[in-house]
Chains A and B, each alone.
Chain A
Amino acid sequence: MTISVLILAEFDPVSVCALHRDAIRGYAAAHGLSRAIDIRLAVATAYTPEHRDADWVGSYATGTAKVVGGDPIMDFVTNHTDPAMVDFAESADIIQVCPAIGQPWASYPDTPPGSLNDTPHATYFNVQWDRILRGKKHKVAYFHGSRTTWAYRDAYARFFRDAGYVLATSTLDYATLMPAAYLPPPVSPRPEMAGRAPLRADDDPLIVSHTPSDPSNCSTAEFLAMCSRLGIVARYKTMRPFHEVMTAKRESHAYFDHLRGSYSVNTLEGMAVGCVPLVGLTPACRDFLATEGMGAFPGPEIVTASDLGRALAGLSASPEGTRAYQERAHRWVHEQYASDKIAQRLIKFYQGVLDR
């Protein structure tokens, strides 16, 4: 049996979906399954050069892309007219959309969730897409966390479930609370995750990096104050280019993400280069990892700010303990978030969607 999947995405989720597509293609090629799964990615609205790696890039195809300051910044796209893509969409077994980011209600957090009911399935696509989506039997709504979707997650979940979508997500919090199928990005092997933070030597100070996009949402002030009061070196960067952020992680022994109850891709990237993960994780998220067969989370148990303080103090006092955590985290993430493993998870998920 062949599974054909079209992923419609825009902005941030594009990167994760492109990694999924490549993981599946790689896995399929390695296991002689290239005819068994056909997964393609269409981008409605993009803003980084890497989005060009999609199979169909909306406004590039239609020639309406604008280039601002060297980066392609696309206009709102309403005319996906590539005939090949439309044909694929009509015939695809599954269409996956990535709600929230870029959609009108997501841009305005004050908009009451009730307005969701008045909005078409995927407002960023034109009527033709709406028709195709409504007619599809197998549909997936894939959530890549953002503050706006988080605020209205119950309304989103209800809306898409009622419209016949299967819910999936890239993040642990949605996976446990929405709930939704956990389809994280693969971490290994990826060239940008290469290199490794040094194992902490006995005479090394503890260095902890922290690279939030939104410091007000990531307990940044508390973290920096704790480091100051514990004599720990904090490497703090916000809104800096990806390569700079990865360099900071490679120069650290630990990485602090936030205290919101689950971890973001930042934690995975930190572990990928050998940082101890410091992140507030709810017991539900820890249990979820175990039930998903991913084993125990390889970082200190942290839920609250005082847990974080204790974890920092403990690591600071123990270079040996830091090294042990570093090794464990590195091993775990490269096993559990390996490209092949994620590809298998995705294929199993899409087969499950078809079996519904």
Chain B
Amino acid sequence: MSLIELTAAQLRDGLAAGRFSAQEITQSLLERIERVDRSVGAFLRMSPDAALAQAAASDQRRAAGRCLSPLDGIPVALKDVLCTAGEPTTCSSRMLANFVPPYDATVVRKLREAGLVLLGKTNLDEFAMGNSTENAALGTTRNPWDARRVPGGSSGGSAAAVAARMVPWAIGTDTGGSIRQPAAFCGTVGLKPTYGRVSRFGVVAFASSLDQVGPLARTAADAALLLEVIAGPDPQDATSAPVAVEPYSRTVAEPLESLTLGVVREQFGAGLDAEVGAAVERAIGTFQALGGTIREVTLPHSGYGVATYYLIASCEASSNLARYDGAHFGYRTDEAAMGRAVADQQRQQGADAADDDGDSGLLRMYRQTRAEAFGPEVKRRIMLGTYALSAGYYEAYYLKALQVRRLIRQDFDAVFGQVDLLIGPTTPTAAYCAGEKLDDPLAMYQGDLYTATANLAGIAGLSLPCGFTRSGLPIGVQLLAPAFHESRLLRAAHHYQQRTDWHTRTPELS
């Protein structure tokens, strides 16, 4: 069996048994990337030499009996929204195309400290805004199962890389479904941990109250392993929760207790693709076969989830992205050209025309910088958020959204009083074609229908493969758990994967 086919757990065992070296693993993956990433486009940047050097160092540690962790030497890919010291971190935006952070995100530091090999940075929707990775300014990523289709997003590069066997696992971020949705589209496992479970320090912010870092992997067992590495409170993130990390890699294989799974009535209504619905129904049947009890529940306010999510996320984003103004770092418009344009304008319109009070050189620089370096979706959300926070609209939009957010949270609280987990579709449809929804943002936003409420409530969610459409596209089933019950989520997913083989299928790529 080729090394690229092995899960992270298998790589761990093989490394421990001395069956292969970290360098061999990295070399195999680099060759795989070399061969298939031209058609997938998962990676924005990689540095084969640096990766091989890390692998060589890992092999030396192992030979000396000084492994940093059992995972020492296993490669991982990072969504290019996590800061890596001394290496570009672009968010797939022209704004940060040349930005090199001087520090590591806490998650990156933890990965390094565990000895993982940082293989490269993966593509995403610009600043993680999108669910198709089509809003990426610095690369194009396609679905490994069908190159005409999108990989989902915003962690589309990470999901595609894992699905295409270019890396055993990867790190993504999930603000409204950005781990789970691409995981479903690409046929991988994707876990959005509880808000506060994983540090956000060094993760370029999209919407601070919703963003969460999590693993994408082929199996729930691998996701458990990776979560164990990256989770935990962080003194550098005030919103990280002081809750002890569980030994997920051990608890994941524990026997499945008699679970009660809630099926949310609202999630099987209009808008759900029939094939997706059928696959999810079969998955529910599998959980019943595993001893689960199924109970129909209702989340009465979930219909407001998408609107609420887009208001809150856009409001926070409009503020979070204010720092990209050309003054301190990142892209700045060509000021010489700007000066010439102003001079031309003055010649045509008279001396004071371009330099009145409201249009100083500074404001012009801000405006031009942001106009040139942000993509249309980012601009759309900044405008939406700015509007919703403005005097006179704040109460009607932002404040109202906060109130609905509380109701959505209360819905989940009530439901989790009755059931252990919720089960339902991750996405309304399987992967759609590139360009299909680009001109219809609202249709695109509906893709977050089943995922965004978990972010609003701050609870944990996981998507795992549960079937394929007739045209061969993966389908994802979503499990949701109460806050800080990732172990329950992972265990249920693991036992499902023991019974099914959806996750073992590999897309044909050449």
Q: Do A and B come from one complex?
A: no
Q: Which residues of A contact B (CB under 8 A)?
A: none
